[in-house]
Structure 1
Amino acid sequence: MSVDTEPRRRRLEPDARRGQILACAVRLFGERPYADVSTTDVARVAGVARGLINHYFGTKKRLYLEVIRVMVTVPEVAVAQLPAGDLRTRVDASVAWFLDTVSRHRTSWLAATAGGMGHDAEVARVLREAEEVAADSVLVAVGLADVTAHRDEVRGMIRAYGALATATAREWLERDALDRPQVHLLLTTTLLAIVEQVFPAVTGRPAAG
């Protein structure tokens, strides 16, 4: 969920050019409804020929699905950069990273998590895949990645927590019903409760430290 949204109007290597186009698409799909963004719009903002959009992404819908994926998927580097320390330190850092990211890409993240295309099966698939990646990341962050017994229940708890995190962030960013410190407190306290109380009660395993 980390993408530079400033286009670079110069000769770029293919990967960099693709990233530039994607960054511009993230911005445009965050600013406007899906139907109001064309590949011509993206090409103009990115400073490239429209044919390059088709070359790298195929159709407008494939480009949009990639925008959603980059906005809602937790990158591996986010987990790798978590600080060493006890459970509370890791949970606090994980929640801070999440809130930093969604606030930095506020408009695009809100649009991505809202769907934008109704009950589209491919959008739903991308969101489900992102949920699983997020669950893996949280399990690593809280020291439960090696759980095998009761794994379905544990992953279910973490997926439910992910849904809570998304809904809570929307209460902050979209409805202004909560402020950031309140959201941070709610999300850290809830995740700690899952790991320290709910998880041991369900599995009979000592809490992670």
Structure 2
Amino acid sequence: MASRRPSAPPTAASSSTPAPAAGDRPRRRLSVDERREQLIAVALELFSRRPPEEVSIDDIAAAAGASRPLVYHYFPGKQALYEESLRRAGRELAGRFEEPLDGPLSERLYRVMGRYLDFVQSHGPGFAALLRGGSVAASAGTSAVIDEVRQAAHDQILTHLAVPKASPALRLTVRAWIANAEITSLEWLAERSVPLEELQLHLVQEFVAALALTAAREPALAVELSGFLAGEHPDGPTGRLVRDLAGLFAVPGIAEAVTALAAEPSPQA
């Protein structure tokens, strides 16, 4: 009988236990701060795509690859998580109003409004529900966040104007324009009736027109306005606005009607 050859010891290649694949390696356990940041980021993404009342804790947990109890371990409920994610978004939105103080005023504001509208577009449903006052998630906390964003926008615009001392009328003009930008952009989200770039230009030109109207009533601001206009470019938002107005005055009858309205009223008999 032929002798049986001893079997060779198993090698790493022939072992019945396969080596773990790279994708099978255990994930690094997130720290407390990292997990909290992850939950906020996931929640903000969901709230950006859907109104807050349509997002549940289970939705957030599933998107984060976490359990429902784990979410509750970090946040007492959806409202707290919504407010925290809104604060994060609010800081980002406020930062989009920051712009170097170089170049024509209207061109700076045009870039600002481009970033603002991009944010509104990418965070539409959640912010639309909140700003319209129709969200069940609206609260004193969420209102405070929105107020902080509005205040940051107000302060940034006044910084760009760089007037020695902003009058109450000028501050009111800036606040009214910010409110108008909110309303107009939310209506645009619902209808998409004009291209985004057209809305961007329209909002900036509305601010220039409102600033001119305020300056017409305030001599000190009128002096500042002359400096703003001198620094504008013909192909910028203000230059295009002036050309549009010039074209309007060329319409038969409008120039005559405006001239008549500008005349000093006759004294009462």
Q: TM-score, normalised by structure 1?
A: 0.74
Which residue number corresponds to residue 192 of structure 1?
Answer: 208
Structure 1: 5+ residue stretches without partners: 1-8
Q: Answer with 63-72 or 177-186: which moved more.
A: 63-72
Give, in angstroms, the shift of residue 79 of structure 1: 4.2
Q: RMSD of the alignment, in Å? A: 3.1
1:97 aligns with 2:128: no
Q: 1:77 to 1:162 in 2, by over 3 A?
A: closer
Aligned-partner Cα distance in 1 for 2:92–2:217: 28
Aligned-partner Cα distance in 1 for 2:79–2:37: 17
Give, in angstroms, the shift of residue 87 of structure 1: 0.9
Percentage of identical aligned residues: 29
Which residue number corresponds to residue 166 of structure 1?
Answer: 182
Structure 2: 5+ residue stretches without partners: 1-26, 229-269
Q: 1:39 to 1:124 in 2, by over 3 A?
A: same
Q: TM-score, normalised by structure 2?
A: 0.60
1:148 aligns with 2:165: yes
Aligned residues: 198
Aligned-partner Cα distance in 2 for 1:153–1:53: 47
Aligned-partner Cα distance in 1 for 2:116–2:75: 27
Which residue number corresponds to residue 132 of structure 1?
Answer: 151
Q: Within 5 Å, which residues of 2 pair with 1:1-209?
A: 11-12=29-30, 14-73=32-91, 75=93, 77-82=95-100, 84-115=102-133, 116-117=135-136, 120-140=139-159, 142-144=160-162, 147-150=164-167, 152-199=168-215, 201-202=217-218, 204-205=220-221, 206-207=224-225, 209=228
Secondary structure of 1:174 counterpart: helix
Q: 1:73 to 1:96 in 2, by over 3 A?
A: same
8 Å CA contact 2:99, 2:108 repeated in 1: no
Give, in angstroms, the shift of residue 25 of structure 1: 1.1
Aligned-partner Cα distance in 1 for 2:117–2:185: 7
Q: 1:96 to 1:149 in 2, by over 3 A?
A: closer
Structure with max Cα Rg: 2
8 Å CA contact 1:110, 1:170 repeated in 2: yes
